[in-house]
Amino acid sequence: MKRKISILLITVMLCMMLIPVAGCGKKTDYSNPHNAIVAADRGIHLEGKTIKVKATTDVTLGYFYNETDLGIGANVAVGVYTDDNILGLDMDYTGIRKGQTVTGTIRYYDDHLKTSRIILIELDE
């Protein structure tokens, strides 16, 4: 009987320790730029939403993702947002390398040219 209670207590304690770990990852609204653009095409406002992006290149002049997305028929560029200049693009930022996954909040989305989409994100620290 004591053995069963001990096993039960250990099991309950382990479960209690694992519950907080399961909630540690920050959930993003969009798992990639494609999903965000599809949502925008459906009329969803992107500014203020969170996005996860895997860099396709080392950050250059503020941009770190540049791909042709055949699913939406457009070139997609993702860059680092700043409010320090009129463009909203942090051209001096150098902290992202090819293959690195970053998350951030969408601060600007431009689709006025349907064959070219631009997303600028404010990086999470």
pLDDT digits (tens, 9 = 90+) for 34-88: 999 999 999 999 999 999 999 999 998 899 999 999 999 999 999 999 888 777 8
* pLDDT reading at 22 higher than 50: no
Full-model pTM: 0.75
Please identify, in words, the CATH class of the domain defined by 26-123: mainly beta
C-alpha distances in angstroms, 125 versus 12, 39, 47, 90? 34, 25, 18, 15
- Mean pLDDT calculated for residue range 91-106: 92
Largest CA distance in the chain: 72
Residue 40 one-letter amino acid? A
Residue 20 pLDDT: 47
What is the arrangement of strands in the sheet containing 101-113, beginning at the earlier edge strand? 50-54, 101-113, 116-123, 74-80, 63-69
Residue 9 pLDDT: 56
